[in-house]
Chain A
Amino acid sequence: MRAFEIGIPALFVLAACGGAELNQTRATNVQASMIAAEKVGANDQPKAALHLQLAREQMESAKRLAADGDQVSSDLMLERAKVDAELAMQLARTEREQQNARQAWEKIRELKQEQPRQPGG
């Protein structure tokens, strides 16, 4: 009984000194978002690349916070990393679509130039 009364506070102390683990589910989600952003070309666009970089940095911060035992802040940092990765992906997709639209109009312009003049026109 005595030994038990001594052991529980000791466990709490040990836990406090050993730190917490990174939330693996959230971390995996962040990784997936970062990979998705890279796949749509986020690294090739300055603005998207910046947010991807922020996501990576925040991932590292989340690891450090977890290691320091601040699970709540670590989770929040993972959430921040996730939205930055998502924003990077969204920016890359937007840029790609805008480029496609520009190319489509350029095609029309070229087509109009190729058109032979109408007689009497």
Chain B
Amino acid sequence: MLDTRRTLYIPGFAALVLGAAACGGAAAPSTELLTARQAYDEARNGEAARLNPTGVHQAAKAMQAAEAAHKDDAGSQREKNYAYIALRRSEIAIAGASEALAKQEQQRADQTYQAQLEQQSQRAEQQRSRYAQQLNQTEVQLQQNAQALQQRQQELQQARAEAEKAQAELRNADALREEAGRMIISLSGVLFESGGDSLSQLAERRLDTVVQALAAYPDRPILVEGYTDSQGSEEKNQQLSQRRAEAVREYLQQRGIDPARLRAVGKGEANPVASNDTAEGRANNRRVEIVVERVSESRSSSTSDSSSASDRAVGSPAAPGTDVDRTTMR
């Protein structure tokens, strides 16, 4: 408990005191007593006074006994024994203070540990809560998605049913046919006023049915071809057929068909489906054909549509291997 510094200077100090005593002064305290005094000073002036007052008190009592022995019989074995006991009491007091200090330290560490654990636990709880919230949100989202999907499926089913119904209607009116994977809807009769390009009410009704039928092919490109009879000049007929095709394209667009899918081509008096010599034949030749193309042919085939779609006239079925095998229905 005592440091080396004390151990070194005590003998010197003792020698000094003994020397003074030899010269006729008071009897010098023994080395043991000096050491005890110093240890006691350390105990009462250090942490021990605060942390271990009982120990310091016992050291004080032992010190008193040692001092009394010194007073009674300086330098005696009795003094040395009491000084020894006093030294140990001071050492016990100091060690007791160190123990108390260590206990405090441990208590502080335990509190810190608990605080850390609590902090960690809180963090974990917060994280768990965040995850639970995210999970909940995801579940809600999934549920919404599932509902939306179900609704979409129902809508699609309904649209498909309506499309099938419309197609059946068109088929019954001999206006729909399929050729090499393409669907062709041919509309003729009183679609436009004579020489004009405004759609008649009848034409709009029939186009509404067409729109329903087209719902079965939401991704496929659509080509609108306009035809005239052979009355009038060819150039005018060409222009008229173009305007009529445009009118149908615009109507389809108004009814919700993506304009990117729509193209309009005027064919003039080409490819008649009936004789232009009779009024009935000419009425049939004044027609619009709506071609639902295959996805793969889309644009590339569109450049040749004017010829390929037009090359098939009445009584001239499509050659084997061609894209369009048309059967005009009216």
| A residues neighboring B (CB under 8 Å) | 72-73, 76-77, 79-80, 83-84, 86-87, 90-91, 93-94, 97-98, 100-101, 104-105, 107-108, 111-112, 115, 118
Contact = CB atoms under 8 A, between A and B. Distances in A.
Interface of B: 62, 77-78, 81-82, 84-85, 88-89, 91-92, 95-96, 98-99, 102-103, 105-106, 109-110, 112-113, 116-117, 120, 123
A105 B99 CA distance: 16
Contacts of B105: 98, 101, 104-105
B92 A97 contact: no
Nearest to A99: B102
A111 B118 CA distance: 12
A108 B112 contact: yes
Contacts of B81: 73, 76-77, 79-80
Contacts of B116: 108, 111-112
Contact of B120 (A91, A98, A111): A111
A115 B92 contact: no
Nearest to B52: A90
A72 B120 CA distance: 64
B95 A91 contact: yes
Given A79-B81, A80-B85, A87 B95 contact: yes
Given A80-B81, A111-B113, A104 B106 contact: yes
A104 B113 contact: yes
Nearest to B97: A94
A21 to B, nearest CB: 20
B110 A104 contact: yes
B126 to A, nearest CB: 11
A111 B117 contact: yes
A108 B89 CA distance: 36
Nearest to A55: B88
A23 to B, nearest CB: 15
A80 B96 contact: no
A86 B92 contact: yes
A87 B91 contact: yes
A101 B109 contact: yes
A112 B116 CA distance: 8
23 contacts: A72-B78, A76-B78, A76-B82, A77-B81, A79-B85, A83-B84, A83-B85, A86-B88, A87-B88, A87-B91, A87-B95, A90-B95, A90-B96, A91-B95, A94-B99, A97-B102, A97-B103, A101-B102, A101-B106, A105-B109, A108-B116, A111-B117, A111-B120
A80 B99 contact: no
A97 B99 contact: yes
Contacts of A93: 99
A118 B124 CA distance: 11
B293 to A, nearest CB: 53
A93 B112 CA distance: 23
* B62, B109, B113 pick with most chain A CB within 10 angstroms: B109
B95 A107 contact: no
A39 B33 CA distance: 32
B95 A108 contact: no
Given A104-B109, A111-B113, A115-B120, A84 B103 contact: no
B89 A83 contact: yes
Top 7 A-B residue pairs of the complex, sorted by shortest distance between their CB atoms: A104-B109, A97-B102, A83-B88, A101-B105, A101-B106, A94-B99, A76-B81
A105 B117 CA distance: 13
Contacts of A98: 98-99, 102, 105
B88 A84 contact: yes
Contacts of A86: 88, 92
